[in-house]
Chain A
């Protein structure tokens, strides 16, 4: 069997559990037992960067070192995939544009205000995509619009604010949108145009942190795609509570195509759009709360 990991120490089951529990206590992200190999592989570069020889020592570093908080954040960042690109899951985005945006335009006509939240925004591709779609719809041009992107990792937020991307992030971007919303900044790199950036803001937020979520304004739509997969049932419930709390009554929650709210209680209504299934925070009885 070929080896790709020369010199990499093997993580014992004990080390796996200690590290897993430490990460879980920090942010509610649960690494399943069968992911030991993945954890080992993803954390190894952190050991390498710190010059630490084994995972037991790394656990002690995370517990005791003066720089432990920063390192814990780096560890969590390594453990959560930041695989994202512009215009990901086009069928869902089409349903969002063609079916939800007209509803939101009508519903918010009296306030002319629209708030979207990209929860777990990673390096910003989703948040910018949403802003581009809003611009492209032509429905909200003189509205007060804000797309809020939040993530647990400060490093990816710095990338998101820079708004410069390479070919991989653009691999699903239609050429006309590429032309309209990006400007070239070097070989194989582009930057998001300033008028799109002006509609997007970013912030640091741990989705499992109920108190901290008060910093996120009430939103009309939450995109929380491929984020729930990192949480166990209890943490998912907590996160859903946060999302529900931050959604306006009647606001929509869009999950990744492989995710659903089965076995998570029924605080959201399932809405069958023509092109997608989405969730909605129920309106308050009598239509209060808006």
Chain B
């Protein structure tokens, strides 16, 4: 069994308790303009190009069977013709071309994740599945979580909440120690306009999760200038969480990290987003909306 994985971040300290390895699965159903990992949205491998490392040797152009690489073009890769085969990446001496997305066999991935077992054990850490949207590769993560659970590794999923509840629950709920569940926009129409889907399934899934696992759900709200960071939106999310008796939440400060990565895969980033990261202190005013819930720092 295989999964397409964008990256494995070992020694992750911001994806749950302790020292963790975070597996970033490729492919996502939503298209948030502020996405931290825009290179993980597509469910196919993609070639990222970092011009500052390029020595213009031309080996990539010579080897490309699709004739999708043009040295004289600023973006180098004609995305309409590139099929992500990765031959150019193998030939690129300088590391200017990077293949995002590689298939891992289940056992290969488990072996890599277990290498850091001592770090998890010493720190109360474990493995976090992130993405993309990990539930897009549900069968794989079901098998992965079962293996990890069997090894006694603490597990977390970070999800956008858009999945079939029955399938999700039967595939992996019992093997998950914590669920980080993202809520972005409370207004369903706005959600559809900005992200591509409305939020009804997401909200319903959260409600159902809370029925059985309220202790283990942490709702995460990204605070994005121009999108989610409005008093109305945050207030409504706060009220929804209160109705649902959510116990723990976390606010994610905006970071422009995704913009550079979007450019590398030939996607023009949302120009309205600031190029400045948000400071932790800028989250303080928003925390008032969640006064009766426990703030989790992640």
Decide whether A and B are members of one complex.
no
Which A positions have Cβ atoms within 8 angstroms of B? none
